[in-house]
Structures are given as C-alpha cells and as structure tokens.
Chain A
Amino acid sequence: MSYGLGHHQQKLKNMWSPIQPTPTCVVILFSIHFVLKAEKLLKKNGIGHDVIPVPREISSDCGMAVEFPCLESEKVLELLAAAGLRLAGLYMRVGKDSFQPISAGHLAVNAVN
C-alpha cells in the first residue's frame, strides 16, 4: 500500500525554515485501537508525536488522532501502510484551529475489514 504523498513532501521541504515553527500533520484513524497502534509504531521509530482529540474542525467524531511533524509524513505513512493501518483522513495544521486536508484523493477512506 502507498499513499503517494511525494509532492506534498517536496512542498513541505521547500517551505521549511529554522525560524518557522515546524508544520504538523494530523492523521485520523478508524478507532482508538488504530491510533494507539500508530502511536506504538511512531514511538518505536523515534518519531515525535502527540495523541490529540480529533479536532472539531475536522470531524464531530469523539475519538483521538495523531499529530506529527509534516517533515516525517512520508515515513509515518510508510509505517502505517506497512502495518496495514488504513487512514480515515490526513490533514495539515495551517492555523491554531484550522486544518487543510491533504492528498485525500490518494487515501483509502473506505471501511476496513
């Protein structure tokens, strides 16, 4: 499985500069089990992250999501795909409470099982 995020990655690399805060991405998964599985994978691979409530701006779902530096997104998506975790959504934080969906066209958003 691959999520084809190459062009976003490139854009982010071009954007990044040491004086700007590192942009972060938020991945939405299908349930808390998959959030904790993602957390375990990121921890194991030394990728900094936060488990956060799903932002209301993204979804009314009452679950949790994983936020990580967008610079790591390629690696994160690779890890999730290798573990068979499907994404319910992927966003970039563009403001304190503002998120932009990314690569939606490439994501498997259908139910798993």
Chain B
Amino acid sequence: MSTKPAPIYADNAATSFPKPREVIDAVSAVLGGMSLSPGRSAHRYSLECSRVIFDTREALADFFNCPDSSRIAFTCNVTEALNVGIFGLLGEKLHPGDHVITTALEHNSVMRPLRYLEKTADISISILPVSGDGEVMVSELPRLIRDNTRLIVVNHVSNVTGAVADIEAIGRAKGDAVFLVDAAQSAGVFPIDVARMNIDMLAFTGHKSLLGPTGSGGFYLRPGLGLRPLKMGGTGSNSEAEIQPDFMPDCYEAGTPNTLGIAGLGAGVGFVTRTGLAAIRAHEQRLCRLFLDGLEQMKGITVYGPAGGRERAAVISLKVKGKSESAVAQSLDRDFHIMVRAGLHCAPGAHRTMGTFAEGTVRFSFGYFNTEADVAACLTALAIISKN
C-alpha cells in the first residue's frame, strides 16, 4: 500500500501558508465574538472592533518605524494600496506633463496604473534598468531624474527572482520626488524603516510574509503628503458633513473595513515581531541556499536571479530544459504534491529582462514554515522530472 506524501506548499510569494495558530485564533475570536463593525456605533461590540483595528494599526506603525499610527491606512491588499498611491497623486503632486521613474521588475499592480496614466494623463515613464542577474541598478537613478520627476516607484523584492532593491540608496537619491515602495514581498522578511529609508509611501499586503489573511493590507503615508481618496463614503467620523474627512486614516478608509482580515494581520505582525525578522530571514535564506546548491548539481535546470552569495528572498525562478513551465508545475502538484507557480507571475517586465518572456518560469517560494525536508523533496522531484 502506498502512502500519500504530505503536500508541500512552495507558493508563499503568492500567499503564505500555513498561518500561525494565533492568526487563525484572532480571526475566529473576532468572527465569533463581536459585530465586525468598528467606529460606527457606540456599543461595546463596535468599540471592541475599533480596538482590534487600532491595535493592528499601532503594531504596523511600530513595525515600520512610523511614529504616528494614524499615517497607516488599511486597504484590501497591496494592489489597492499602490492604486491609491499612484492614482491618488494625480492632481495633487502629479500633473499632466510630469515624469515618473520605476524599475523593470515591477508587478502589474504598478505597471498597469502607470501605463494608464501614460496614455490618459500625459505622464512620461522612465525605467530604471536591471543588471544581468536581476538587480535594480540604483547607480543609474541620478541620470534618470528630471526637474519634473514627481514619483519614483520601486518594488523592494522581486516576486519573480527574489532580488532585493537597495531602497535605502534610492531614498537618499530620490530628490523631491515622492518615493513609493512596493513591499508586497519584503514586509515580514526584510527590515523596513520608513524614516531611515526616506520612504514617502509604503504599500504592503497582509497575506504574504506578514502571515495574515487575504483581503488585508494597507499603506504608510508620510505626514504632509496628501492623496486624492479613490473611494469616499461613511467613516463613522464627521457624520454631519457631506464632504469626505481630510485627515488620516479616515479619509482613505470609507466603508466598513475587513475587520476579520485586519484582526488576523495584527496577529501575524505580532508573530513576526516576536519571532524576529532576523530569525525569519535566516531560516528562509538557509532554505534558499540549500535549494540553490542542490539545483547547481542538477543538469538541465536554469536558475534566474541574483547569483552567488547575494542577498535575496527565498523566491526562485527556474526552467527545466525541454519541458514547458505548466507541465513542470502540473507534474510537481500531481505526482509529488508540491505546489508552485508557473508563468509570468504578473510581472512581464521582469521576464523580458531575463529573456523568459512570454512563457515565464517555474517559481518556488519558501516561507518560514517550510523545512529542509521540503526543500529536499522539491530537489528530488525536480531531478526526476528533468530526467524524464
């Protein structure tokens, strides 16, 4: 009788799994214990919900070294946060004829809004190039900055190659432009200090390395920087006024929020803080190193992204010679119970720079709860697939 192998989840760059027990408990406690409607009524359930949201906001402010937690607003994911940032700047800091700089490693959640503004609002875009092993060439930034550069958008960690951008150096060189950092892959693994890194806006999601549920995320916005809200409506504050409040966080949080998701996100941030970013990063990088070393011994596998001992996230893109990406991913899942992601990972620009457009790559992404045995199983499976 054959025993079914336990499934191995190696798609943490999409959504982390599993979640810490306390995240599940926090969501469950809120769903079963209160009304989910914060800041709307004056009864105890509403107040308890408000406290859950307040506590998560304070935890995130501490986590990103933001002294005033009211500068953190919640959204349903990093895509919404990036859209609020990019579209919200239009008419505020960004006007027709202005210039924006971004990188070749951006996700579609940045490139699609920017390309839309290029087409409809006369915004011009320059792309910060990427070196051969997938690292953003920050040294090129001063050459690209113009008098009318109003916005610089940078993906902190590539969701395709795991390459880490030197956002501190970009923060130093950004000039007067608004510096928007996409921390989708980095928050919860790499340290982010909005003050030290001179970040004007930080967009993050809850469901990846912050270990929260899907539907949770948000952004930090530097004091003094205003955005046009993308949605307006009830905030539970200033109810007598028919105009949207102009103060944070209320101005960007119209409508009843995802109290469940925010509760889980708060517990996730608590877990990450208690475990320690350094410990989480060390574990993920050990797995990453183990995987890369194993792949090096294997014939017929091409690995993309930072080479050698460069700092990187545990996101590894590869190709198996003679096999389509979808066939490799399907075999991994069907025959070995290993879950990965194949294709372009919503970042066609990154694949163009690596020469893997339009078929994409097979992406393994390990998280804090993966083990060395998981990595060994992935290597064994790849060895078998690549030989057949």
CA distance A46 to B315 in the complex (A): 48
Inter-chain CA distance A30–B47, complex, in Å, is: 16
Say yes or no for A64: interface residue by CB 8 A criterion: yes
Instruction: Say which one of A8-16, A32-40, A72-80 lies at the interface with B.
Output: A32-40
B299 at the interface (CB under 8 A from A): no
In contact, B226 and A30 (Cβ under 8 angstroms): no
Q: Which range contains the number of B residues in contact with the other chain?
A: 20 to 34
Q: Do residues B248 and A113 form an inter-chain contact, with CB atoms below 8 A?
A: yes
Residue B238 is within 8 A (CB to CB) of chain A in the complex: yes
CB 8 Å contact bits of B35-61 with A (1 = contact, 0 = none):
000111110000100110010011000
CB-based nearest A residue for B249: A33
B240:A60 contact, CB within 8 angstroms: yes
Candidates A30, A59, A62; contact of B245 at CB < 8 Å? A30
For chain B, residues 53 to 94, give those with C-beta under 8 angstroms from any C-beta of chain A.
54, 57-58, 68-70
A62 to B247: give the CA distance in the assembly, Å: 17
| Chain A min CB distance to B337 (Å) | 45
Please tell me which one of the listed residues A37, A59, A112 contacts residue B54 in the complex, with CB atoms under 8 A apart: A37
Is B251 close to A, CB under 8 A? yes
* Also in contact, A31 and B40, with CB within 8 A (given A61-B237, A113-B226): no
Would A61 and B240 count as touching, CB distance under 8 A? Answer: yes
Query: Which label, helix, strand, loop or mixed, suits the secondary structure of the B interface?
Result: loop
Seen from chain A, the residues whose Cβ lies within 8 Å of a Cβ on chain B are 30-34, 36-37, 40, 51-54, 59-64, 84, 111-113
Contact A63 B237 (CB under 8 A): yes
Report if A62-B249 is in contact (Cβ < 8 Å); known contacts: A32-B38, A32-B50: no
- Among A63, A64, A112, which residue has the most Cβ atoms of chain B within 10 A? A63
Can you name 29 A-B residue pairings with CB atoms under 8 Å? A30-B237, A30-B238, A30-B247, A30-B250, A31-B39, A31-B236, A31-B237, A32-B237, A33-B39, A33-B54, A33-B249, A36-B54, A37-B69, A37-B70, A40-B54, A53-B42, A54-B42, A60-B239, A61-B238, A62-B40, A62-B41, A62-B42, A63-B42, A63-B237, A64-B47, A111-B247, A112-B247, A113-B246, A113-B248
How far does the alpha carbon of A14 sit from the alpha carbon of B378 in the complex, in Å?
A: 77
